[in-house]
């Protein structure tokens, strides 16, 4: 479990990776103002995130606080056998690891094999697979407009559905930028209704909890709030069992995105090997290339 191996494991699955520390972000300079250490434990190829004031800079401690409500990763079972890239820590390129069973930390990765690499990706949640498309909800930042849904999905290396499926008879709120799929038979046209039938076994998206706060791209929608065509995405709220939410009135919700389950379109390009799967294709990238589609 070297740093090189951790990085390779993450990039092979289309993900990024953290370093041992969070990077130069935050209002308190990591912990107790130890900003001078940031460059030692973090490099620019790692992700940067705000560890939040009062929490140690170390990735494992941040995760322990989130997962287990404590700061000691060796007492947080979900972090057992997980190693993080730690640039410059050891001359043998060891990643830094945790053993929950023995309640120990600072495991030298070069002495361990076949453990877990700590990786990071977009805040995406798998919903369902239908007609060769795996549907996800991906957390967006900002107002839930069509433009933001488009940017969120593309930023995650995904495509996106429209409000309607794009199949014959279902193109009223659809454009060619969106994916095309065939409905379930029970529900033919509308994406949220199709997903409700797949995820919850009903055809009422407002009563399907996994679809809560999800918004879909809907071209040409004239909502009740805007009496002219606007850029609102279309959303659902499970708590109030309502739909037709006008996206520009909501911030930081989920965008509906989609990933092909096949490799027919050669999504990994010239620098990756594609493998199809029920939850979407994956790319195994050549050395020096990374990202979901091996394009970076």
Q: Where are the domains of the chain?
A: 3-117, 124-259
Whether 82 and 59 have beta carbons less than 8 Å apart is answered as: no
> Per CATH, which fold does 124-259 belong to?
Mannose-Binding Protein A; Chain A (3.10.100)
Instruction: Chunk the chain into consecutive blocks of 10 residues (it has 296) and report each block's average pLDDT, rounded to whole numbers.
Output: 94 82 59 44 83 71 87 93 94 97 97 95 85 95 94 92 96 95 86 95 93 95 61 95 94 95 93 91 85 80
pLDDT at 31: 37
The length of the chain in residues reads: 296
pLDDT tens digits for 168-191? Answer: 999 989 999 999 999 887 787 999
- Helix or strand or coil: residue 149? helix
- Helix or strand or coil: residue 58? strand
DSSP H/E element including 4: helix 3-12
Q: How far apart are CA 100 and CA 75, in angstroms?
A: 6
Q: Structure pTM? A: 0.64
Q: How far apart are CA 221 and CA 175, in angstroms?
A: 12
Q: In Å, how far from its chain's centre is CA 170?
A: 29
pLDDT at 124: 83
- Token readout for 90 is 């050891």
Query: Reduced to 3 DSSP states, what percent helix, strand and coil does the chain have, rounded to the nearest 5?
Result: 20, 25, 55
pLDDT tens digits for 81-94? Answer: 999 999 989 999 99
In this structure, the number of other CB atoms found within 10 A of the CB of residue 136 comes to 24
pLDDT at 52: 58
**Could you tell me the CA-to-CA distances from 172 to 134, 218, 246 in Å, in that order?**
23, 10, 18
């Amino acid at each position: 479990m070297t740093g090189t191996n951790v990085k390779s494991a993450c990039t092979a699955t289309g993900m990024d990776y953290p370093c041992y520390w969070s990077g130069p972000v935050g209002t308190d300079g990591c912990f107790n103002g130890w900003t001078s250490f940031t460059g030692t434990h973090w490099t620019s190829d790692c992700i940067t995130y705000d560890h939040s004031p009062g929490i140690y800079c170390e990735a494992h401690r941040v995760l322990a606080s989130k997962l287990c409500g404590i700061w000691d990763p060796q007492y947080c079972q979900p972090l057992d056998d997980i190693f993080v890239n730690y640039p410059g820590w050891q001359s043998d390129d060891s990643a830094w690891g945790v053993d929950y069973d023995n309640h120990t930390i600072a495991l030298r990765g070069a002495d361990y094999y076949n453990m877990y690499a700590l990786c990071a990706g977009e805040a995406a949640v798998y919903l369902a697979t239908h007609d060769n498309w795996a549907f996800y909800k991906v957390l967006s930042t900002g107002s839930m407009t069509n433009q933001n849904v488009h940017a969120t999905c593309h930023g995650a290396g995904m495509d996106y559905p429209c409000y309607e499926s794009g199949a014959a008879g279902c193109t009223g709120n659809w454009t060619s930028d969106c994916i095309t799929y065939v409905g379930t038979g029970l529900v033919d046209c509308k994406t949220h209704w199709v997903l409700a039938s797949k995820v919850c076994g009903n055809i009422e998206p407002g009563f399907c909890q996994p679809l809560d706060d999800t918004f879909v791209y809907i071209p040409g929608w004239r909502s009740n709030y805007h009496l002219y065509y606007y850029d609102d995405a279309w959303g659902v709220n499970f708590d109030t069992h309502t739909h037709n939410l006008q996206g520009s009135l909501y911030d930081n919700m989920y965008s509906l995105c989609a990933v092909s389950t096949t490799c027919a379109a050669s999504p990994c390009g010239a620098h990756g090997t594609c493998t199809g799967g029920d939850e979407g294709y994956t790319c195994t990238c050549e050395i020096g290339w990374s990202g979901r589609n091996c394009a970076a």
